[in-house]
Structures are given as structure tokens and as C-alpha cells.
Structure 1
Amino acid sequence: MSVKPYGNQIGSKKEQVTQMFNRIAPKYDLLNHLLSFRIDKLWRRRVVKLIKPLRMPDVLDLATGTGDLAIAIGRKVKPNVIYGVDISSGMLALAAKKVLKHQLQHKIVLKEGDSENLPFEKHSFDVVTVAFGVRNFENLQAGLSEMARVLRPGGMVIVLEFSKPLSFPMKQLYRLYFTRILPWWGGLISRDKEAYSYLPASVLQFPDGKDFDDELVKAGLNPVRRWKQTFGIATIYVALKPEQ
């Protein structure tokens, strides 16, 4: 059974995740960069570099949140269009302000939607990206299968997600920070302790590494690269949709 943000409350994981992000949206950017020591920006830049060689791609950024990855792509790549989709209206409201600030409204279209039931036709996109979002899916296979469905043959999926370091002493330091310090610090600033207790719980439960590659294969995608970031704190996964 998948972990939920508010385990003692009524509601599906999807409903609770939506509620959680609507609640923490005002503090999300501050905490995201603060708790990651801003290393998350480096990881996003590496995702953007993987897309940069493509010519005028149609890009779908799922779980776009406040739009950080969509904006980074819009600033460094020459896309035809970028759709940023998220289930949280609160997060999208902040994303819209940031898109206007960066004058990318002609490139980025924001849309409220469910990553497990996308409002797009099959073969609509050249690239699908997700940064720190797949572990929030209620049904991981449904979400990955939707990515495969909307991708064009030969299209690319790029997933940036937290993972679990395996080597001493990073493994021990990471667990201490992630399970003790981060929930306390995040809960204090956001005033939602459950949200920042859910973060480490969802990461520890998530099938990272080869296990996630196996999930991509089940969804009909071909993993081509697994790129560990910063001692394995996060991983960038790259997969292609087979040519037909």
C-alpha cells in the first residue's frame, strides 16, 4: 500500500497529495531550494542539457509544480511548446506568475490535470519530463503508461527523482537528515509537519535504481541511461519510446 501524506485522514493518495500541495504552495519554492541546499537547480540544468540538442520539440512537463523545470527548459531550449501539467491549482497559480516574470507565456502553457489520465492525444509530444513527481503518483504504472501513450515513437522520457544513497557515510548521513532534520525544519516553516514527513517516507518506499528501470519497461519504454546525482541523493532516468 502506497504511503499517503495524511495517513489518518480520509481520502485517496491522489486527493491527499493535491490537498498537501495546495496547502504548502506558498512556501514550496523557499523550502525546496533551502532543504536541498539549492543543488536541485544543478540537477534540473542537467535535465535541460539532455533536451537542448532537439530541434523545436513539443515538451510535456508533468507534476510541473511551480514551473521550475518548464521555465528552465523554456529559457535554454528552443521548443515548439511546453505544456506544464499539475494536479494542484495552488502550485499552478504560482507557476503562472513565474512564467510571466520570465516572459515565457508564449512558450509555456499551464494546465490543471491528472498525470495518470492525461488530456492529450497519443503521439503528441517529443519529450516528457517529471521532476520529483513520479513518487507522488497514486498508481505509478498508470502514470508511466500515460507518458508512453502521449509520446511519439522515438520520443524521450526524462525523470528526475530522489533516490537512496548506498555508500558509507552518505547513506547514514542522508537518512539522518532526511528522516530527522528535514521533517522538523520543513514542518516548522510550512506549518505542515505531515507534508515534510511524507517526503522522506515516499522516497524510502519508491522503487529507485534498477527497480524503476523495470517499471519503465513494464510501461513499454526502453531505459537508456540512469545517472546518479550528488552521491546518489537523486537520479536522472532516461528512456525512449520504441520506434514503430
Structure 2
Amino acid sequence: MRSVITAIADYTQAIRIDPNYTDTDYATAYANRGVAHAQLNKHQLAIQDYQEALRLNPGYAQVYYYRGNLRYYFTDYSGAVQDHSTALMLNPDLIEAYYARGDAHSASRKYQEAEADYNAFLRFYPKHATAHYKRGNVRLELAKCPEAVADYSIFLRSQPLHAEAYYKRVDARIQLKDNQGAIEDYNYFISLKPNYAEAYYKRGIAREDVGDVEGAAADYRQALNSIHSL
């Protein structure tokens, strides 16, 4: 924390008095100070610094990326998409902008565009677990259930205690009529969230569908007990 505050003071001092700074140097100083402000959650000050950096250097791709992230934070998803798109136009090698733009598209429920962005990011970072999880989410929304299952499975190999991923993979498996796979995922989920009544109820349905009447009845009873214990 102290080093970030010191960095802000240093950038401010340089902006005020350095006679050798060019516009590009000043743009870099404003950009770096904006990053430091963002680290301290001084988001409005960060935005102001990014605006000034872009005034001095309109082709500064990284700053569009930084500002896009802040616009996403403020739920200005269209603004975030615009900034990340500009960043990629100026610097196609700024791969993290695909990931960030995918988040903004997903938040706007533009799932096809989000999937395309996560695809682009994963071509460069195929082992990025969270990107697989997020692409799984948008593929589930697009009813691409086999692909969603594959993405969740990749994610869960590195994050085996992530309860929500099991629950989401269940949704995809149910749509694929893979009741046995769904039961296995409910088992994992319930081991992590043992008081979640809905999971028992839904596992009961899946068990009933595969002919496990006694297991289904036990789950329905447990669902009722979990509700009553809340």
C-alpha cells in the first residue's frame, strides 16, 4: 500500500515539474498514476488520469484497456466493449483485452460475442481455467451443452472444490439427459454444500429418472429437513 502511495506522489511530481517530458512521457505518467489510483480503489481519479493520458496519446492501447476495465466495474458494459475493441484495434497482441471484452459481452447477455472473445483468448492461453469456466457459462446460455460440460470439466480439474461449477455442469448434463452424470455432480456439490435443499430435491428427481426410487425418496426427505433447518 505504501509503495503505491509513494508511486502516486512520484508520478504527480514528475507531471508537475519535469521539463524534459514529451507528451508521450506525460501520457505514460498519467497512465501509471491511473493504475496506482485504481489499485487504491480511487476509481474516479484513475478515470481522470486515463482520460488525460489518452488526450496526450490517443493511440495508447493499454490505457483503453485500463479504462475499459474501470467502465466494466461501473457496469458501463457498452463503454467497456468499446474501449477493449479500440485497444485491440490499436494493438492486436493485447490478448487480455479479449478476455475482458468477453466479460463485458457476457454481462450484457451477448453470449455469442462473449464466446468468440473467450475463444480468441484461449487460443493463446489454453490452460487458463477461469476462462474455460466463463466460456462454459456462456455456452450453457447458448445451449451448447456438450461444449459447456467440456469447459466445466477442464476448470474443475484445477479447481475441484468449486461447488458452483459442479452445479452448472449439472444443468448442462440434465439438458443432455445424462442423469447419471448429473447425480455424480450433485454428489460432489452436496459434499461441499450439505445444507442446500434444492440440490437434494433435484438429485431426487434425477435418481427417480434412473429408477432409484429409494434414493429419490431419501433425497426428498433430506430436502425437506434442510428447508426446516434454515
Q: Normalization by structure 2: what TM-score?
A: 0.25
**Could you say which structure has the larger radius of gyration?**
2
Q: Which has the higher contact order (CA 8 A, sep 6+)?
A: 1
Q: Which has more strand, going by share of residues?
A: 1
